Amino acid sequence: MSGESVKNWHRHCLLPDGTELQEHSLKTDRDIVVGEFCQIDYGLRGADVYVGESTKIREYVWANGDARIGNLCEIGSDVVAKQDAYIGEGVKIAGKLVVSGALDIGEKVEIAQGFEATGEIAVRNPMPVLVFILIYLMTMLQIENERELDRILDNLFSEDDAKMEVPLMIPARSRLNMKVFSVPSSMKIGRKCR
């Protein structure tokens, strides 16, 4: 993959070591970052889970840490966050929302089976998920500008022995279902994946 193609870092798919594709879920012990306008027919289970705007998840979202769901997303089952949850404006959750920490929720959110939150609840518009993901990646990889992020991801996709603790990344406009994984650019699958 050339440096030119990495300029759109959010267009590349990365399934880190130990990722499991089970019958109804995509599971990892790392964070999960999903771009906007995706269609995923699996549940997502990871450490922190970040879902970009206008994405449809057919199953559930389970975060052992924080869950951040962007504006206008549709979740086909439950959303569970073992810490805090940030739910954007216009989100539709077909199941239940369970939050063990604080809940930051936008307007016009539909939750079919109600919600539980043990922490503080605030109704407002959380930061857009794409902006949050960029800040998150730059902080996690301890970099100061987007060019350096491009260089790090270029190395990650070109070297088989890269051992960075990067999240499971599903790029914008991806489609994952029982028959096909369709992503707009390259995909890297780590070791011991199922």
> Could you count the other beta carbons within 10 Å of the beta carbon of residue 112?
13
Per residue of the chain (194 residues), what is the pLDDT tens digit? 333 333 455 567 888 889 998 888 999 999 999 989 999 999 999 999 999 999 999 999 999 999 999 999 999 999 999 999 999 999 999 999 999 999 989 889 999 999 998 988 888 765 666 666 666 666 666 555 556 655 655 555 554 444 557 789 998 899 998 888 888 888 888 888 88
For the record, the structure tokens of 58 come out as 């057919």
* Burial of 191 from C-beta contacts in 10 A (0-12 / 13-18 / 19+): exposed
